[in-house]
Amino acid sequence: MNAPVSELIELLSLERLEDNLFRGQSRDIGTKYVFGGQVLGQALSAAQATLTQPRHAHSLHAYFLRAGNIEAPIVYEVDRTRDGGSFSVRRVTAIQHGKVIFFCAASFQDAETGGEHQLSMPEVPKPEDLEPAPAIPQEKLALLPTKVQRWLDRQGPFEFRHVYPRDELNPPKRPPFQQVWFRLTEKVGDAPELHRALLAYASDFHLLGTATFPHGISYYQPNVLMASLDHALWFHRPFRADEWLLYAIDSPSAQEGRGLARGMVYDRNGRLVASTAQEGLIRVLADGQTA
């Protein structure tokens, strides 16, 4: 297994301290603070570890309260809120340096049959018909802050192929829509719990950024401050995070320094496997100020 994938699997494999208490390590991937997807994936892993019945996660609703310190581990406390006849609910609180930085509620369900329908997948090119994103020229990369350089120059555990690429260093104004194919760069085990945690991690990529498209700004600009405020994730159907998935995202509104983005995740056969929503802080600072 290659290093980025094995590191991510390790990141999502928490240390159990007590029955309902877990510790997760943090990784510096070039973001200023702990990447939100890391906390989402670890919190879901913690909740899944407390189930005593074979139930699968169908929804997660989270709030980010404080920025996480990438230099310190995070402790996850799980409240076994309810185990009913068909559903289980867990509340997870993430703590760092004695303060709550995040909390979420996750719901789990027994396998069940019922009526089915879904919105159709957008008509887009297949991932193999799209070129991988070109490397940023070193002379451009050298002009950016060190952390941004690491973020853009790293080989991460996921591969992304954009249907309509955007130059994030010189972003044009365009409608708030995008479609991105993504997959884990290497095959992993078959455990559905692992693939759901991996998708929770990946769901934080590209989502809020879609809300910046009409304004011609980017997270990489030094005067742009962006931070996730909340995150919702629904799992609809089985999937594998190590096979191509299409993330179809739109942003219906931005106002009062906040942007809202929604996403639908399809497998390459057109099955809707998950949906997401996120609101985040988007501030453009005054001239001379940096985020």
Task: Say which of 204, 221, 242, 275 is annotated catalytic.
Answer: 204
Distance of alpha carbon 250 from alpha carbon 262, whole angstroms = 5
Burial of 266 (0-12, 13-18, 19+ CB in 10 A): buried
Phi then psi for residue 59, to 5 deg, are -160, 155
Give me the catalytic one of 228, 242, 251, 275: 228
User: One of 38, 45, 251, 278 is an active-site residue; which one?
Assistant: 278
In order, the DSSP letters of 228-253 are EEEEEEEE-S---TTS-EEEEEEEEE
CA separation, residue 5 to residues 9, 71, 241, 260 (Å) = 6, 20, 12, 30
Q: Please say if 204 is a catalytic residue.
A: yes
Question: What is the C-alpha to C-alpha distance for residues 67 and 94, in angstroms, rounded to an integer?
Answer: 11
278 is annotated as an active-site residue: yes
* 242 has catalytic annotation: no
Task: Give residue for tokens 């991690």.
Answer: 201
Q: Which helix (H) or strand (E) holds 259?
A: strand 258-267
Beta bridge partners of 233: 60, 276
Catalytic positions, written as ranges: 204, 228, 278
